[in-house]
C-alpha cells in the first residue's frame, strides 16, 4: 500500500516511512492511496472471531509487505496481552438497541491504549529492521502522554521525552506517567501551560540541527498507524451486531477527530455504517460545522471532558481531503485560508455528502453531569464524562431506532474520578492493576519554560545514554 499526502505535494510513501514521518513534508497528513475493500464473506466470518485475528485480517492490506505476516501477528498479540478483558473492545448491551463498547481496559485506562500499544510494537519492529533509533518527543495534557509512555517503555530503539504542564494535570494522570521507571522514559514538568509545552515541542521539531541530532519522531494522533489500529473495533462491533447484512450506527466522543475518522475509513472499506454521530463538549466547532458547513475557530473552554477540549481537530483534514474529492491543492488552499482567517466554508454539495453519514451534537458540563447521574440511577454503573457526552448524543440524535447504535466508551470512570463522584455520589474505584498508583515512586524533572534549557537537558541525557551503552 502507498500513502499520499492530503496536500498533494509531499512524496508518496510506503507504510514504514509514513509511520516514522508522522506529518507529511507539505504540512499534510498521510492517507492510503486507495481504501482496501472488506469482502462480505470475511466480514461474516469475523462474528465471534478473536479480536487479534480480526485485527490481523483488517490491518494487513494497509501494511502489505512492510511487516512479515508472522511478525505482524506477534505485534498484535503483544499489544493486547496487557488488557484486563478477553478482547480490548468488549460490548455491553444497554437495551433499546444501544450498546456501550468499552475501550478503556488497557494499561492507562483510556481508549488511546488500543492504538498506542500496537504503535509501540510497530515502531520497535520497523526501527530494529532498519537499524535505527528515534527520540519521541511529545506534549500532553493527560491521556496521550500516559498511553504513549506505557506503549514505548523498555523499547530498545526508542527514547521518549514527555512534557506536561507542572501542576496542571490530575494526580492520576501525572502518576501514570511519572511512576514508569524504565530508563528510556523521561518525564519533564514544564513551568507553564499545556500550550507552552506544545510550543516547545514545535520549536524542537523546527530546529533542524536538534531534530537531526536526535532523529526526532512523534506519536500524536495524526500518525496514520493510530487511526488504522482504531478501524478494527468498528468492524468487530458491526460484525457482532449483524454486518454485513444489517447496518450499524456509532456515537463517538470526539476531540482531534482521529477516532471517528477511523469509523469513516471502515465505512469506505465497505462496512455498512448508517450514521456516525460526532459528540462534543462545549467546544462545539464540529457540531457547528455539521450544522452549517462553516469551520470557524472559537475559544477553547476547559470542561469535565478535557481530552475533547480542542478547537482545531487535526484529523479532520483527512475527511476534508475526501470531501474535496482528493484534490490536494484545494485542501492546501482551504487550510491556508483557515490559518489566515480562522474560518473556511465547504460547498453545499460537500456538506450534503458529509451529512449522509455524519451528525454533530454537543453537551455542556451540566448536561454531562446529568447524563452520568441518569445512567448511574438507571443501571448502577458509572461512566466517565467523555462517554457521557456520547451516550447523551446517542439517546437524542439516533436517526433510526431499528438500527443498533454503538456508543464508544473512551475512559475508565476512575480516570476522571472527581467529575464522576460529583455526578453519582460514589467514588469510582481504580482497577486492581493500578490500585497502588498513589503509593508508587515518581521520577520527573522540572524545567523552566525555556527552549535552550530543554534542549540542553535532552542533549545531556542522550549523551549519558550513549556513554552508558
Active site residues: 112
Nearer to ligand PLP, 140 or 184 (CB): 140
Interacting residue with ligand PLP among 411, 414, 420, 430 (CB under 6 A): 411
Residue 413 C-beta: closest distance to ligand PLP, Å: 11
Nearer to ligand PLP, 3 or 257 (CB): 257
Nearer to ligand PLP, 101 or 308 (CB): 308
Interacting residue with ligand PLP among 254, 274, 283, 368 (CB under 6 A): 254
Is residue 112 a contact residue for ligand PLP (CB under 6 A)? yes
Nearer to ligand PLP, 107 or 328 (CB): 107
Interacting residue with ligand PLP among 22, 165, 255, 413 (CB under 6 A): 255
Site string for ligand PLP, 126-155 (x = CB under 6 A): -----------------x------------
CA-nearest of 458, 454, 443 to 190 is 454
Residue 450 C-beta: closest distance to ligand PLP, Å: 29
Is residue 303 a contact residue for ligand PLP (CB under 6 A)? no
Cα separation of 42 and 57, whole Å?
A: 9
Is residue 253 a contact residue for ligand PLP (CB under 6 A)? yes
Interacting residue with ligand PLP among 386, 393, 419, 430 (CB under 6 A): 386
Interacting residue with ligand PLP among 5, 275, 382, 410 (CB under 6 A): 410
Q: How many residues does the chain have?
A: 469
What is the distance of C-alpha 179 from the center of its chain?
Answer: 23
Is residue 417 a contact residue for ligand PLP (CB under 6 A)? no
Nearer to ligand PLP, 67 or 222 (CB): 222
Is residue 308 a contact residue for ligand PLP (CB under 6 A)? yes
C-alpha cell at 280: 462534543
Is residue 256 a contact residue for ligand PLP (CB under 6 A)? yes
- In this chain, which stretch among 109-117, 156-164, 236-244, 290-298 interacts with ligand PLP, using CB under 6 A? 109-117
Is residue 16 a contact residue for ligand PLP (CB under 6 A)? no
- In this chain, which stretch among 198-206, 250-258, 318-326, 338-346 interacts with ligand PLP, using CB under 6 A? 250-258
Nearer to ligand PLP, 176 or 259 (CB): 259
Decide if 250 contacts 406 (C-beta within 8 A). yes
Decide if 368 contacts 385 (C-beta within 8 A). yes
Instruction: Say which residue the cell 523552566 belongs to.
Output: 448
Q: Cβ-count burial of 444 within 10 angstroms (0-12 exposed, 13-18 middle, 19+ buried)?
A: middle
Q: How many residues bind ligand PLP (CB under 6 A)?
A: 17
Cα separation of 198 and 462, whole Å?
A: 21
432-438 own/partner pairs: CB under 8 Å, 24+ apart = 433/84, 433/107, 434/109, 434/176, 437/172, 437/175, 437/176, 437/179, 438/171, 438/175
Residue 395 C-beta: closest distance to ligand PLP, Å: 18
Nearer to ligand PLP, 140 or 274 (CB): 140
Interacting residue with ligand PLP among 89, 110, 239, 361 (CB under 6 A): 110
Cα separation of 18 and 13, whole Å?
A: 6
Is residue 164 a contact residue for ligand PLP (CB under 6 A)? no
Whether the upstream peptide bond of residue 244 has omega within 30° of 0, thus cis, is: yes
Residue 82 C-beta: closest distance to ligand PLP, Å: 18
Order of strands, edge to edge, in the sheet holding 445-447? 216-217, 134-139, 158-165, 185-190, 445-447
Binding site for ligand PLP (CB under 6 A): 110-112, 143, 221, 253-259, 307-308, 386, 410-411
Amino acid at each position: 500500500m502507498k500513502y499520499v499526502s492530503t496536500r498533494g505535494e509531499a512524496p508518496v510513501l510506503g507504510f514504514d516511512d509514513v509511520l516514522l514521518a508522522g506529518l507529511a513534508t507539505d504540512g499534510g497528513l498521510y492517507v492510503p492511496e486507495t481504501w482496501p475493500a472488506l469482502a462480505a464473506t470475511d466480514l461474516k466470518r469475523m462474528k465471534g472471531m478473536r479480536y487479534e485475528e480480526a485485527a490481523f485480517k483488517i490491518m494487513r492490506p494497509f501494511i502489505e509487505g512492510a511487516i512479515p505476516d508472522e511478525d505482524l501477528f506477534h505485534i498484535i498479540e503483544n499489544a493486547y496481552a496487557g488488557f484486563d478483558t478477553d478482547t480490548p473492545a468488549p460490548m455491553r448491551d444497554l437495551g433499546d438497541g444501544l450498546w456501550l463498547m468499552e475501550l478503556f481496559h488497557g494499561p492507562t485506562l483510556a481508549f488511546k491504549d488500543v492504538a498506542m500499544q500496537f504503535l509501540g510494537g510497530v515502531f520497535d519492529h520497523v526501527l530494529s529492521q532498519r537499524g535505527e533509533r528515534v527520540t519521541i518527543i511529545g506534549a500532553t495534557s493527560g491521556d496521550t502522554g500516559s498511553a504513549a509512555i506505557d506503549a514505548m517503555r523498555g523499547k530498545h530503539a526508542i527514547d521518549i521525552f514527555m512534557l506536561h504542564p507542572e501542576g496542571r494535570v490530575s494526580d492520576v494522570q501525572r502518576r501514570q506517567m511519572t511512576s514508569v521507571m524504565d530508563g528510556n522514559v523521561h518525564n519533564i514538568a514544564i513551568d507553564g501551560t499545556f500550550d507552552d509545552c506544545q510550543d516547545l515541542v514545535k520549536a524542537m521539531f523546527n530546529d533542524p540541527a536538534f531534530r537531526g541530532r536526535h532523529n526526532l519522531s512523534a506519536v500524536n494522533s495524526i500518525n496514520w498507524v493510530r487511526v488504522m489500529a482504531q478501524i478494527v473495533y468498528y468492524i468487530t462491533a458491526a460484525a457482532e451486531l449483524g454486518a454485513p447484512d444489517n447496518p450499524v450506527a456509532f456515537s463517538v466522543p470526539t476531540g482531534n477527530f482521529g477516532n471517528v475518522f477511523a469509523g469513516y475509513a471502515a465505512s469506505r472499506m465497505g462496512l455498512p455504517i448508517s450514521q456516525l454521530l460526532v459528540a462534543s463538549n462545549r467546544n462545539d466547532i464540529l457540531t457547528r460545522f455539521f450544522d452549517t458547513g462553516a469551520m470557524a475557530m472559537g475559544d477553547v473552554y476547559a470542561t469535565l471532558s478535557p481530552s475533547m477540549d480542542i478547537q482545531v481537530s487535526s484529523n479532520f483534514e483527512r475527511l476534508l481531503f475526501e470531501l474535496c474529492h482528493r484534490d490536494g491543492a484545494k485542501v492546501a488552499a482551504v487550510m491556508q485560508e483557515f490559518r489566515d482567517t480562522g474560518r473556511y466554508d465547504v460547498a453545499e454539495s460537500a456538506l450534503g455528502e458529509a451529512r449522509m453519514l455524519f451528525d454533530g451534537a454537543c453537551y455542556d458540563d451540566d448536561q454531562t453531569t446529568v447524563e452520568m447521574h441518569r445512567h448511574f440511577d438507571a443501571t448502577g454503573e458509572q461512566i466517565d464524562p467523555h462517554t457521557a457526552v456520547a451516550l447523551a448524543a446517542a439517546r437524542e440524535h439516533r436517526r433510526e431506532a431499528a438500527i443498533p447504535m454503538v456508543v464508544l466508551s473512551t475512559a475508565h470512570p476512575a480516570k476522571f474520578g472527581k467529575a464522576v463522584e460529583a455526578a453519582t455520589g460514589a467514588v469510582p474505584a481504580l482497577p486492581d492493576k493500578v490500585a497502588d498508583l498513589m503509593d508508587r515512586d515518581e521520577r520527573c524533572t522540572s524545567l523552566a519554560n525555556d527552549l535552550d534549557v530543554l534542549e540542553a537537558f535532552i542533549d545531556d541525557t542522550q549523551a549519558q545514554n550513549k556513554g552508558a551503552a
